Every structure is written in structure tokens, then in C-alpha cells.
Amino acid sequence: MKKMKAVVKTKPGPGAELIDIEIPVPGPDDVLVKVLATSICGTDLHIYEWNEWAQNRIKKIPQIMGHELCGEVLELGADVKNINVGDIISAETHIACGHCYLCHTGKAHICINGRIFGVDLDGVFAEYAIVPSSNAWVLDKKIRRDFASVMEPLGNAVHTVLAGEITGNTVLITGCGPIGVMSVAVTRLCGATKIIVTELNEYRRKMAKKAGADLVLNPKQEDVVQRILQETNGLGVDVVLEMSGAPTAIQQGFDALRPGGRFSILGIPDKSMEIDLGKTIVFKYATVQGINGRLMFSTWYKTSRFLSSGRLDLEPIITHRFRLDEFEKGMELMKSGNCGKVLLYPHPKT
């Protein structure tokens, strides 16, 4: 078959290579897509940098990197229904078994047998890619292709924001990387009435402001817990959305949470931390939620509607666009923190 260019993790260790490989052939339940746009996730950076998590998690090498995309369907596997050649799609990256207790009870996103593109199997940093038909999300024509590429991480933000009450709430978002800033925009859209952000990076603090934050704080410059208590009549915020994975931010979040509040965690600390459960959770009557993935597919419907209705504008959040062969620039930028979402275009003339 014909060849295509792809960003491939060719060996265990830092880096990746842009190489020519065969265009894959879809299985009976898959579709083959032309990748119109793809975007870089923090997970991709971890795999690229080959950090400890990646060393333990990535089993298959060589492997095409990447999992966020917008693609055009070119070919259908033999058993595929409900998708047509020519459809423009995004994709859910958690592939669920469909048979386990979790799949059967509305939690397919944490399927006990789940696999992930670009982590457990070949990804989408390539000119063409395979997507299981069950995971292809056919797009409403009103949704822009660049926005479509970032619907997967946007879905993380939507999932976290909507994991409890948000309308009319005072919300603290700790950490304002790409998903953090999306969470700001979504929180605003959902009618939260005060949105506070803590973030160390100046570029990202500015993005947070543009995305709709009411108050953006630099934890290096002030005592953010005291400030948040002042801003909330001494009570604390109703909701914390943890997007940093940083132990300091997590502790500040707990300290700034009002009694009976919600603390939803999407950020992943890379090691254990000390927590005083009595003070932090029990006496505070707090609810702490671990979040990952996207509800399949409630979150996708909501995310799509936010975009197709024009209610949600990602323009301030997609900050950089490169050709696929410039992926190293994108990785460096992600590393620096001076960016929102970074897109890669495998077919730049498209």
C-alpha cells in the first residue's frame, strides 16, 4: 500500500521521529481517515520526553504518537454502519470493551478493559489514521476543523466542570494549562458567577483572563488562600476544579474550599502527598471527585452543542499552529508553558 508520514516513537527514550510508514488498513469495525488537524496533549509531551510515567505505561514501540484529531473518513471497514465516506469526524480516544460492569452501567470511559490511542495502540500524528467506528464522532457541519481537533481535551474540561453544580457558583480553577483554560471558558458558559484562577505562568494567566476568568492570581505573588477567602466573605469557593497536579495548588484548593464544597480533580500529581483527611475532607464535609476521560457520549453531545451553537469560542485558546513535520517546535512550546492548544497539520494545504 501507499506510504504516509507519521510521528513515531521509534525507541524507548526521549524524542520521536517523522518517518514514512505504510498507510494502515481498517479492520471490519474501523474507519480510515485523512487527518485534517491533530493537536498535542500533555500526555504526548510525557511520551515524547519519556518521563517515568511513560516508561512504565507505554508497552508498544514503535508506535505512532498522538490521539487528538479532526479527520475526513476515506474508507469504511466491512461491518461499519452509521458513518459515511466523506464524514468529518473527531474521536473519543478511550476504546471501551462494551461488556464489563463499567461499560454496562454508564461508565464506559473507565472500562476495565479500556485502551487509548497513541498510548496503547497507534495514534494520529500522521497523514492518515485508523479510528474504531464506535469511537468516531461525526461532526455537525457548523463546527470548525481546528476546534474539532481539540474536542477530546475540551471534553475533559466539560466533564470536570459539569461533574456537579456549577451555575451560580463561585469557582476556583487551580492551574491554567490548555485544559485549565478551556475549563475557564466552559465554567463561564455554564453560568458560574465568580471564576478565580491560580496559575504560575504569566502567558497562561493572560489566557485565563481572555477566556473569561473574573480574577486571576499568581501564587508566587500573594497568599492566594487568604485572597480567595476575602473574595468570598470568608466562606471559601463552592467548587474547586484542580487542573495542575501540583501538591501546593491542591492544598491551596482544599484550604480555599467552603464547607460542603466540591473538589473535582483532573490534574494528576506525579507522586503521593500528605493530606489531613480530618481537616481537609471530613470536618469540611467536602466531596472530592476524581475525573478522567469523557462520559460516552453525554459529554460529547454537550461539547458539540457548545461549539455548534457558537456559545463557546476556542479562538483565544488555540494559540499555535504548525505543520506536522514541525512537531518538535510544538513539543518545545508545550514544555515552556507559553501556549494554549498547539495544532499540527499533516496536510498543510488542506
Q: Contact residues for its own copies (CB under 8 A)?
A: 81-82, 99, 101-102, 104-107, 109-110, 112, 158, 162, 166-168, 170, 189-191, 193-194, 214, 235, 245, 250, 258-260, 265-278, 280-293, 296-298, 300-303, 305-306, 308-309, 311
46, 94, 109, 320: the catalytic one is 46
Q: Which is nearer to its own copies, 9 or 302 (CB)?
A: 302
**Residues 332-335: contacts with CB under 8 Å, at least 24 apart:** 334/40, 334/42, 334/44, 334/45, 335/45, 335/49
Q: Which is nearer to its own copies, 7 or 111 (CB)?
A: 111
38, 43, 174, 280: the catalytic one is 43
Are 83 and 31 spatial neighbours (Cβ–Cβ below 8 Å)? yes
Residue 264: closest CA among 343, 174, 194 = 174
Q: Which is nearer to its own copies, 132 or 346 (CB)?
A: 132
Residue 43 is among the residues annotated as catalytic for this protein: yes
Q: What is the DSSP string of 325-349?
A: GGHHHHHHHHHHT--SEEEEESSTT
The greatest distance separating any two alpha carbons of the chain, rounded to the nearest whole angstrom, comes to 66
Residue 10 is among the residues annotated as catalytic for this protein: no
Parallel, antiparallel, or unpaired: how do β-strands 30-39 and 3-9 relate?
unpaired
Q: Which is nearer to its own copies, 258 or 341 (CB)?
A: 258
**Cα separation, 205 vs 175, whole angstroms:** 9
Parallel, antiparallel, or unpaired: how do β-strands 287-290 and 237-242 relate?
unpaired
Please identify every residue annotated as catalytic: 43, 46
